[in-house]
Structures are given as C-alpha cells and as structure tokens.
Amino acid sequence: MKKLFSLLPFVAAGPAVAATGPFVSLGNTDFIVLLAFIAFVLVLLYFKVPGMIGGLLDKRADGIKAELEEARALREEAQTILASYERKQKEVAQQADQIVEHAKAEAAAAAEVAKEDLKSSIARRLAAAEDQIKSAESAAIKEVRDSAITTAIAAAQDIISKKMTAAEGNKLIDAAIKDVETKLH
C-alpha cells in the first residue's frame, strides 16, 4: 500500500505536465480522473477488496493443492492397480506356460502308451499269424499223411488183391480177430 502512495506523485505528474492551466482545479479533467482513481483505490482498500481477492486466490490455491494431492493419490492408486494387473498377467502367462508344458508331457506320455499298445497289438497279431501258420502247416502235413496213407492202403489193397487168394484172405482175417481178442482181454 505504501508503494502505491509513493508512486502516486509520478503517475500524477505525467498528466499535470501535459495539461494546460492549473492542474489542481475542477476544470481540469486529468485532475478529476486522478481524484476518481484515488477514491476508487481508497474504496477498494476500505472494503478490504485486496484481502478478499488474496483470500479468494489463497482459497483457489488451496483447492488446486487439494486437487493436485487427490490427483497424486489417484495416480499412485492407478500405479498400484497397474502393478497388480501386470503381476496377475505374469501369473496367468506362467500358468498358461505350465498348462502348455503339462499338455505336451501328457501328449508325449499318450504317444508312448500308444506306441506300446501298437507294439503289443503287433506282437499279438504276429503270434496269431504264427499260430495260424502252424495250424495250417500241421493241417497240410496231416492231409499229406492221410493222402499218403490212403494211397498206400489203396496200393497195398491193389497188390494184395492181385496176389492173394480168398482162402489166404480168410486166414489173415481170422488171425487179426484172434490178435484183437488177445489184446482186448
């Protein structure tokens, strides 16, 4: 306030030098404007307008500080939430990696089981095929033997029928019957 009054003579001297005639007179408009300005400033000072403006500015500054603090708190909260989501994302990624590894391990185990099942199935089929081959072989051998026996019997019968008479045949039949009787008893 004292600064304002100390500047007053310099502010008033500028128009006073430029005006013609006496400066301190009600006919001089510059003097009237100066008086009105001084009265206006005094009214402002009387009603403590600078203090009210300062109070409003302080209030506004306090509001801005509160908003800044709230914004800072919100930022920190957002950072903690972001950190927690990043942590959760890492955990989910690790779980996904574990699931993939577990699935790979299960697939490999299933492949091994399938290989073993295939090997045992092939072994069973080979054994069954070998059994069928042995069975077919023994059937063929039996068939060849039966055929050989039949042929031998037919040949023997043919030879015997050509060389043997009925009386010799009856003797052989009687001898065979006695032989069977002795073996049965």
Residues 63 and 41 in one domain: no
**CA 178 – CA 175 distance, rounded (Å):** 5
Range of the domain at 34: 1-47
* pLDDT given at position 165: 73
Q: 20 and 97, same structural domain? A: no
| Residues 38 and 119 reside in one and the same domain | no
For residues 26 and 73, membership in a common domain is answered with no
Residues 12 and 94 in one domain: no
Number of domains within the chain: 2
Q: Is residue 16 part of a domain?
A: yes
**pLDDT at 179 (0 to 100):** 85
**pLDDT (tens digit, 9 = 90+) per residue, 111-139?**
999 999 998 999 999 998 888 998 888 88
DSSP string, 44-86: HHHTTHHHHHHHHHHHHHHHHHHHHHHHHHHHHHHHHHHHHHH
pTM: 0.39
Tokens of 36: 């009105």
Please report which confidence band the pLDDT of residue 140 belongs to, taking 50, 70 and 90 as the band edges.
confident
- The SS3 assignment for 106 reads helix
Residue 157 belongs to some domain of the structure = yes
Pair 6, 62 in one domain: no
Q: Which amino acid is at 101?
A: E
The reply to whether 41 and 112 lie within a common domain is no
Can you give the pLDDT at residue 122?
Answer: 92
Return the amino acid letter for 89.
Answer: Q
Q: What percent of the chain has pLDDT above 90?
A: 50
- What is the C-alpha separation between 117 and 111, in angstroms, rounded? 10
- pLDDT confidence tier of residue 147, bands split at 50, 70 and 90: confident
Based on the fold, state whether residues 41 and 76 are members of the same structural domain. Answer: no
* Continuous segment of H or E residues that includes residue 134: helix 49-163
Residue 62 maps to a domain: yes
Nearest-angstrom CA–CA distance, 84 and 90? 10
Q: Are residues 114 and 76 in the same domain?
A: yes
Tell whether 72 and 94 lie within a shared domain.
yes
The CA distance from 177 to 185, in Å, is 12
Copy the structure tokens of residue 20: 């013609």
97 and 184: one domain?
yes
Q: Are residues 40 and 76 in the same domain?
A: no
Answer yes or no: is 163 within a domain: yes
Classify residue 77: in a domain, yes or no: yes
> How many CA atoms does the CB half-sphere of 84 hold within 13 Å?
5
For the chain, the average pLDDT equals 85
Tell whether 52 is covered by a domain: no
Better-predicted residue by pLDDT, 18 or 139: 139
